[in-house]
Amino acid sequence: MAENYAVELRNVTKKFGQVVAVDDVSLRIGRGEFYSLLGPSGCGKTTTLRMIAGFEMPTRGEVLIEGEVQGHLPPHQRPVNTVFQNYALFPHMTVEQNIAFGLEMRKVPKDEIRRRVGEMLEMVHLTGMGKRKPAQLSGGQQQRVALARALVNRPEVLLLDEPLGALDLKLRQAMQLELKALQEQVGITFIYVTHDQGEALTMSDYIAVMNRGRVLQLGTPEEIYENPTSRFVADFIGETNFIPVTVREGGQSPRVAIGDQVVEAVWAQDGLPVGAQAVLSIRPEKIALHRQASDAPGKAVIPGKVTNLMYLGTDTRYTVAIAGGSEVVVRMQNVTSSEHFFRPGETVALAWSPHHGRVMEAD
């Protein structure tokens, strides 16, 4: 039922002239979830967020918030607030004045404003900085002010449009953890737009992966990473190998040929016919190298030759040539001394659990 969802999109389409920015998108976002819209630039994620906020109106379909159809309600009449990448702080106002602005517009009593602003400053770790101007703050502190200003109005839903995109890498990673902790503390629904897969995996309860205006896959971070249902999702979320294969057996447990070797795998999508050219998607960390196939009983095994290695501290990244001229990337954790490294030119057996190899269409 609609009332079970903080936000629901029903077959929403948005066109700008002849350009379809969002194409028949349906989503159900539960109360209290951290829900990310993830995809490359131009995939429609920000337009989707703007339709929830009321900055854009759907060409077709409906947006519901807390079970209520929003129709053509403007942003200020919707129970949402938005945090933007550029913070949009008022430079002439102090931190306290920025946070209090929305409450003052709603004629909230001054004592309550003072109390709620103080609570927000404490929540975002800016106690004692209320009298400063935005220009006197770091990027991370300005982002905290923007969050506090949005949260002080106690919206049903907080919309965040790439809010960490302007921060440097180290600060962005620190803010990811703070943002997730803040969301859990306040308990409201966060809908987060990002093109950064690491951000989405780190913070989200659920992810919608988008491309060309469509939602390609929905799921938890683990589901999206471990069980991609298309080549785009497998490639966009993390690093993966796409090994050319030929389908030898169909059914529930497909078998595919890599050169002369036939291995078991699982379908990533609807099964392909016997004889079809496909790819086997497998994550580099799911593969182990052995000196001979007999060292990996019960595994899918193919031969290869190491062409390159990169020592990365916690693990080593190997490039291995296999039949047909393809190269496979393997990442193995460094738990032993360097004398056990495989060297360029060495013949090896690549081994993995059959359920980690996912067969999908080549294109």
Say whether 78 sits in a helix, a strand or coil: coil
Q: What is the pLDDT of residues 282-327, one digit of tens each?
A: 999 999 999 988 888 889 999 999 999 998 888 999 999 998 889 9
Q: Among 139-148, 163-172, 230-239, 271-280, whose mean pLDDT is lowest? A: 163-172
| Residues forming beta bridges with residue 63, ordered by sequence position | 9
Angle at 133 between CA 131 and CA 138, to 5 degrees: 110
Length of the chain as a residue count: 363
Q: What is the pLDDT of residues 14-31, one digit of tens each?
A: 999 999 999 999 999 999
pLDDT band of 1, cuts 50, 70, 90: very low
Q: What is the pLDDT of residue 16?
A: 95
- Residue 177 tokens read as 């953890």
Task: State the Cα–Cα distance between residues 91 and 214, nearest whole angstrom.
Answer: 38
With b meaning 16 or more CB within 10 Å and e meaning fewer, what string describes 283-292? bbbbbbbeee
pLDDT at residue 210 tops 70? yes
The DSSP code for 131 is: T
Task: State the Cα–Cα distance between residues 59 and 8, nearest whole angstrom.
Answer: 16
Report whether 277 contacts 246 (CB < 8 A). Answer: yes
Find the mean pLDDT for residues 102-109.
88
10 Cβ contact list (under 8 Å, min separation 6): 26, 61, 62, 63, 64
The DSSP code for 2 is: G
pLDDT at residue 2 tops 50? no
* % pLDDT > 70, the chain: 98
Q: Among 133-137, 166-170, 209-213, 330-334, whose mean pLDDT is lowest? A: 166-170
Q: Among 54-58, 147-151, 201-205, 224-228, whose mean pLDDT is lowest? A: 147-151
Task: State the Cα–Cα distance between residues 241 and 33, nearest whole angstrom.
Answer: 32
229 Cβ contact list (under 8 Å, min separation 6): 216, 217, 268, 269, 360
**Does this model's pTM top 0.85?**
yes
